[in-house]
């Protein structure tokens, strides 16, 4: 029988879920207080008079970006059009000021490196949300991981082979087809977000991996959903009324339905168990990261019953995104050397206010969230 739930997600550490978009130079300016003012280009241009619009048309014909940055910075007036405000790292604000002063023929090459990736957002109001597919994928990873452990399914490096073994590999035998997770939208009008850096660190103390030059993603900051943001939606679990198992194969596969109880067990075994190991590792690096106790205090008896811990989004960690007993993580060896495959990653990505942090004390991992299923009555 289908049960309807109010689903509520609590961001516990910074979360970035890629949208495929980046902030364009015609969509923002950065002020002297390291605040990024984001607006719709059309709204900004609508606030200008004809002489300024003609000036902008002339700049566009030059096909260079520095004058575009300068134009928007020069004529932006707070209150002239609707804006969103994002805090950004101080060194990124400094980089923006350097761009405004650039001269020469290679300025576009420099500016192209000033890329601010957006987290996924609602195009109607430009505020972040949580895609149902991301949340469902996180739950399904935990569920499949526990099934693999229970059924001693090991040694597979191919996710399709795993789904064949654990879910019979077919739509009609996949119990997750009855798990309907909607997109979750912020409880407040605008979910808090800001720009942070992703910094990469060796897991062994004292061995810090510098940013990997030449790989664009490793050098750019992200927009992240901040801890404390809460998102809601309504979803369903369980077989629909009147559903009939047509074949023996389908009947056998669907004997393991996805329920609140099975999700609680799966997320506890997959995410909660790994959290302790991560806290210990980060403590060894000098990070003051203690999430387990905070989660226990916040949710109390609801934890592992109607509230589950999980990870979603970018840089959530290879161990958390792969199936126990079937983990084969690709470790790059550097130029000219073939990669090797291990059961554990050698580095961890941490959110930072600076591109090259001098201390790890305030750094935190990405992607931790708690999800609550409240049954509709």
pLDDT digit string, tens, across residues 11-60: 999 999 998 899 998 999 999 999 999 999 999 999 999 999 999 999 99
CA pair distance 300, 284, nearest whole angstrom: 28
Would you state the structure tokens that stand for residue 300, as one six-digit string? 């109390």
In the structure, what pLDDT confidence band is assigned to residue 188 with cuts at 50, 70 and 90? Answer: confident
**pLDDT for res 261:** 92
C-alpha angle 304-306-308 in degrees, rounded to nearest 5: 50
**Whole-structure pTM value:** 0.87
The model's pLDDT over 99-141, given as tens digits with 9 standing for 90+, comes to 898 876 556 566 666 789 999 999 888 889 999 999 999 999 9
- The residue with greater pLDDT, 158 or 201, is 201
**pLDDT for res 169:** 59
CB count in 10 Å sphere of residue 108: 12
**pLDDT for res 216:** 36
184 CB-near residues (< 8 Å, 6+ apart): 7, 8, 9, 129, 130, 132, 135, 231, 232, 233
Q: What is the mean pLDDT of the chain?
A: 85
CA pair distance 87, 92, nearest whole angstrom: 10
Whether the pLDDT of residue 342 is over 90: the answer is no
What residue ranges do the domains of the chain occupy? 3-18+128-375, 24-115
Percent with pLDDT over 90 in the chain: 53
**pLDDT for res 253:** 47
In the structure, what pLDDT confidence band is assigned to residue 213 with cuts at 50, 70 and 90? Answer: very low
Lowest mean pLDDT among 136-145, 158-167, 190-199, 257-266: 158-167
Whether the pLDDT of residue 244 is over 80: the answer is no
């Amino acid at each position: 029988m289908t049960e309807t739930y109010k689903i509520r997600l609590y961001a516990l550490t910074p979360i970035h879920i890629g949208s495929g978009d980046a902030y364009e130079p015609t969509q923002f300016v950065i002020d002297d207080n390291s605040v990024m003012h984001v607006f719709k280009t059309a709204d900004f241009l609508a606030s200008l008079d004809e002489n300024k619009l003609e000036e902008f048309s002339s700049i566009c014909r030059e096909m260079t970006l520095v004058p575009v940055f300068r134009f928007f910075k020069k004529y932006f007036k707070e209150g002239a059009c609707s804006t969103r405000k994002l805090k950004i790292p101080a060194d990124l604000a400094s980089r923006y000021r350097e761009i405004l002063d650039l001269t020469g023929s290679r300025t576009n090459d420099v500016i192209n490196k000033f890329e601010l990736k957006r987290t996924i957002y609602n195009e109607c109001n430009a505020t972040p949300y949580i895609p149902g597919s991301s949340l469902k994928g996180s739950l399904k990873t935990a569920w499949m991981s526990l099934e693999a452990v229970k059924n001693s399914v090991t040694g597979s490096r191919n996710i399709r082979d795993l789904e064949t073994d654990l879910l019979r590999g077919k739509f009609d035998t996949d119990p997750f087809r009855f798990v309907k997770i909607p997109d979750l939208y912020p409880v407040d009008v605008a979910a808090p977000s800001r720009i942070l850096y992703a910094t990469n660190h060796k897991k062994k103390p004292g061995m810090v991996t510098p940013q990997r030059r030449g790989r664009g993603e490793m050098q750019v900051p992200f927009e992240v959903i901040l801890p404390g943001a809460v998102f809601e939606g309504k979803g369903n679990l369980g077989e629909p009324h009147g559903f009939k198992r047509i074949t023996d194969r389908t009947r056998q596969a669907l004997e393991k339905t996805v329920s609140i109880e099975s999700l609680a067990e799966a997320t506890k075994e997959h995410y909660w168990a790994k959290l302790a190991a991560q806290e210990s590792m980060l403590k060894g690096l000098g990070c003051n990261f203690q999430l387990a106790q905070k989660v226990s205090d916040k949710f109390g008896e609801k934890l592992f019953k109607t509230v589950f811990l999980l990870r979603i989004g970018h840089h959530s960690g290879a161990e958390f995104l792969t199936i126990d007993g079937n983990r084969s993580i690709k470790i790059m060896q550097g130029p000219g050397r073939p990669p090797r495959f291990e059961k554990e990653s050698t580095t961890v990505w941490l959110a930072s206010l600076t591109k090259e942090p001098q201390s790890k004390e305030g750094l935190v991992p990405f992607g931790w969230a708690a999800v609550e299923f409240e049954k509709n009555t």
